[in-house]
A = this chain, B = another copy of it.
């Protein structure tokens, strides 16, 4: 099994430093709303699984498991568990809407790369995203709102 948050695990294995001086969790969580996606993109579980795994790799993450489901009559839900936490997606093809989460820990990944990758892969006309810092009182730490191609 891959280590969780590689930087932290290496640190823990050294056994030389007391807990009190552990590095920060450094967990970042981006809540993403994608609108104006073609309905057929949002109802294709295989294509979405591929897009989500590609997005995870784009962020620099290590994929450890995936699980995707297509609902009847419409919609896909899925998760990509990564060594650095997770990506999830839920789609409403009839609305052209997808709700995506990218949750990462550690300094070696950039969750915003996953946002850019997935927005393009799903052909979203627009994206809204807000970054929340985890590991402490949740706060908004970054917000973007942009149209296709921006």
Contact = CB atoms under 8 A, between A and B. Distances in A.
Contact of A101 (B19, B25, B101): B101
Given A81-B79, A99-B103, A135-B97, A9 B72 contact: yes
Contacts of A78: 81
Contact of A86 (B75, B88, B140): B88
B79 A90 contact: no
This chain: copies in complex: 2
Nearest to A76: B4
A83 to B, nearest CB: 8
B67 A135 contact: no
Given A90-B85, A134-B33, A136-B33, A71 B27 contact: no
Interface of A: 1-5, 9, 12-13, 19, 22, 25, 27, 29, 31, 33, 64-65, 67, 69-75, 77-79, 81, 83, 85-86, 88, 90, 92, 94-95, 97, 99, 101, 103, 105, 128, 130, 132, 134-138, 140, 145
